[in-house]
Structure formats: C-alpha cells, structure tokens
Amino acid sequence: MGTWATDAFGNDYAMDWAQDLHEYKTLELVETTLDNVIDSQEAELEAPFAAEALAALEVIARLLGKPGEDDPATAEVDEWVAACKKKVTPPLLEKARLALDRIVAESSELRQLWQDSEHFADWQADVAQLRARVLGPQA
C-alpha cells in the first residue's frame, strides 16, 4: 500500500475508495464499507478494509460538519459531501463505533503495520481525533 500520511486519506486504498464514492448518491458505499469491517469473519482484519473504513468514517465526520484538516487530495470528497442530501443516522453511528473498535484492535493488520513503524503514535492520535469527530469527545 502506498502511504504518505497518517490521516484517513493518506494512502492508496482510501484514495481509490474516494474515487468510487462519486458513483453513489446515497450513503450505501459508506455503510457497506463499515459492514465489511464489522462483519469480517477473518481472525485478522485486513489492512485494505480498515483503510477504506477510515475513509468512510472521515466522510461521516464531514457530513456531521466536523471535517479534519483541509487537504487538497480530498477536494472531490468534500464536493460529494456538499452535494449529499443524506443524514447520518444513529444506526450508522453505531456501525462507525463498531468499525473503529475493530480497526484499532490488536487483530487489525493496519494497526500492526502502523505499530511496526515510527509513526504509530501519530496514527493513533489521528484515529482518536477521527473517533471524537464522529462519535463525540466521550467516545
């Protein structure tokens, strides 16, 4: 995976996912992406699923009016969010919570990859900040 930053869109998987988002007019891709993480029966959550789910979570944060830092790479995502007429529902927020828990668990390949890098603390901080933007500061 090509990775250049610790934020949700700082890798190839997330950017590819973001391009696919434009084919949807609803939150279907966001929900399906979270379901892939939640429903995975594998002992270890594969890194591509986790990276895509972090991108989906960032979309939820933006729909809630709580975007991360401005990033030229996410301009198309911001356009999609601005055009999206769908609301974030409590069931979707519950899926967000479950997916986040799985992404940061010991059995997450993405977590393990970051843990083996010198940027693990930065990645953890970015994920914690994303969690707070999606689920609130007490999450």
Q: What is the pLDDT along the chain (139 residues), one digit of tens a residue?
A: 588 889 999 999 999 999 999 999 999 999 999 999 999 999 999 999 999 999 999 999 999 999 988 777 789 999 999 999 899 999 999 999 999 999 999 999 999 999 999 999 999 999 999 999 999 987 6
What DSSP string runs through the chain?
Answer: --B--SSTTSBHHHHHHHHHHTT-SSSHHHHHHHHHHHS--SSSB-HHHHHHHHHHHHHHHHHTT---S--GGGHHHHHHHHH--PPPPHHHHHHHHHHHHHHTSTTBHHHHHHHTSTTHHHHHHHHHHHHHHHH-TT-
Amino acid 139: pLDDT: 62
Parse the chain into domains and list their residue ranges: 12-135
Tell me the whole-structure pTM to 2 decimals.
0.95
Amino acid 93: pLDDT: 98
